[in-house]
Amino acid sequence: MGSMTDPDKIAAHEQPVRELTDAAKRALAEAEARRQQIDADIAKRPAEKGGRGGLDPARYGDWEIKGLASDF
């Protein structure tokens, strides 16, 4: 009798991990590079005085306050 963690008895909802394609890997790397560039550009800006706080709403195109996002 096998244990509950027997690798031969994998639950039906579990699927094997698939390898990413080269195109998907490139897309993820490009997106990460863009995010890092945006963050670096924002870090260079002077601190805002009297602003609303939080991330710049133009960063991702949405205002976000207390978990609620809205387009501007």
pLDDT (tens digit per residue) in 10-69? 566 677 788 999 999 999 999 999 999 988 988 898 877 776 666 666 666 566 667 676
Strands (DSSP E) contained in the chain are: 62-65, 68-71
User: Which residues have a Cβ under 8 Å from the Cβ of 57 and sit 6 or more positions away?
Assistant: 63, 64, 72
Q: Provide mean pLDDT across the span 5-10.
A: 59
pLDDT value at position 26?
A: 96
Overall pTM > 0.75? no
Question: Is residue 27 domain-resident?
Answer: yes
pLDDT value at position 72?
A: 54
Identify the domain containing residue 42 by its residue range: 22-46+59-71
pLDDT value at position 31?
A: 94
pLDDT value at position 54?
A: 64
| Count of the separate structural domains present in the chain | 1
Question: Is residue 38 domain-resident?
Answer: yes
